[in-house]
Structures are given as structure tokens and as C-alpha cells.
Amino acid sequence: MARTILILEDDDDRRQRFAQVAAALGCASHFWYDAHAMIAEFDVMRSECAAVSLDCDLIPPDGSEAWGDGILVAEYLATVTPVAPVIVHSTNRDGSRRMMALLGDAGWAVHRVAPIGDDWIEQDWRMEVQSAV
């Protein structure tokens, strides 16, 4: 079984950095820009899941709310059996708290990484993923 980190993230630079860290830890990474698409495809990916990492606010190029947000994914995950730890990586404090509460109440192991500094993915996120996988 492959070890894949399932990541909801809308920023291409961060996606590249997440992928590099995941690869350095011996994991594949699978990304979604859109919360609705991640929810639709989660069951297909769940057997490969080593960890889930969720951003809260997703902003499409047109500035709409079409991609939904990480809270939608957290609400969905709260309805299924936990399969791996979840890392919430968002600057949205209130959204992060809501996501963590939903997931924690549903039995998911959940951690938060605040995106602070230039190397938070390579340092803070990496440490959380490394301890999770």
C-alpha cells in the first residue's frame, strides 16, 4: 500500500513545497484545489492515506467561492471512519478551530500548523507529518 499525503491547498508554490517535503519523507502527495473534488475522491484515496493536510480558505482565480473550503472537507471527514492523522494548515484561526473541533469530536487525530515564516512547510509541517507517518 502506497503512503500518500492527501492535501487541500490552493497555492501552487506551497503545493510544490509540500510535495518536496512529502517525497523527502518517502510519501507521495495528492492535491486538490477544490474541497468538493477532494470529498468526491476521498473514498478512492483512503486506502493509500498516510495523512491529510487541509487549508481552510480556498480562493479560485476568479475570486469566487466555487472551491468551497476546508471546513466542508472537515465536515465530510467527520462522517467517515478516521484513517490517518489530519494536519490543519491555515492562517484562518476561527476556521482552523472549527475544523479541529469537528475532526477531534469525530475521533480523528488532528494537529495544527500555523503558516508563519518562510520555512513553515519545511520545518513545522514536516515535523507534524514525520510524527504522523
pLDDT tens readout for residues 57-114: 998 888 888 899 999 999 999 999 999 999 999 999 999 999 999 999 999 999 999 9
Q: Which residues of 67-96 are buried (b: 16+ CB within 10 A; e: fewer)?
A: bbbbbbbbbbbbeeebbbbbbbbbebeebb
Q: Is residue 104 part of a domain?
A: no
* 95 occurs within a structural domain: no
Whether residue 27 is contained in a domain is answered as yes
| Domain extent at residue 33 | 1-53+77-89+110-127
pLDDT over threshold 90, residue 23:
yes
Q: In the chain, pLDDT over 90 holds for what percent of residues?
A: 90
Tell me, yes or no, whether 121 lies in a domain.
Answer: yes
pTM of the model as a whole: 0.95
Look at residue 69 and tell me if it is in a domain. no
Looking at the 3D structure of the chain, how many domains does it have?
A: 1
Distance of alpha carbon 85 from alpha carbon 37, whole angstroms: 20
Tell me whether residue 1 is in a domain: yes
SS3 state of residue 68:
coil
- Asked, for residue 8, whether it belongs to a domain, the answer is yes
pLDDT, tens only, 32-48? 999 999 999 999 999 99
Residue 68 lies in a domain: no
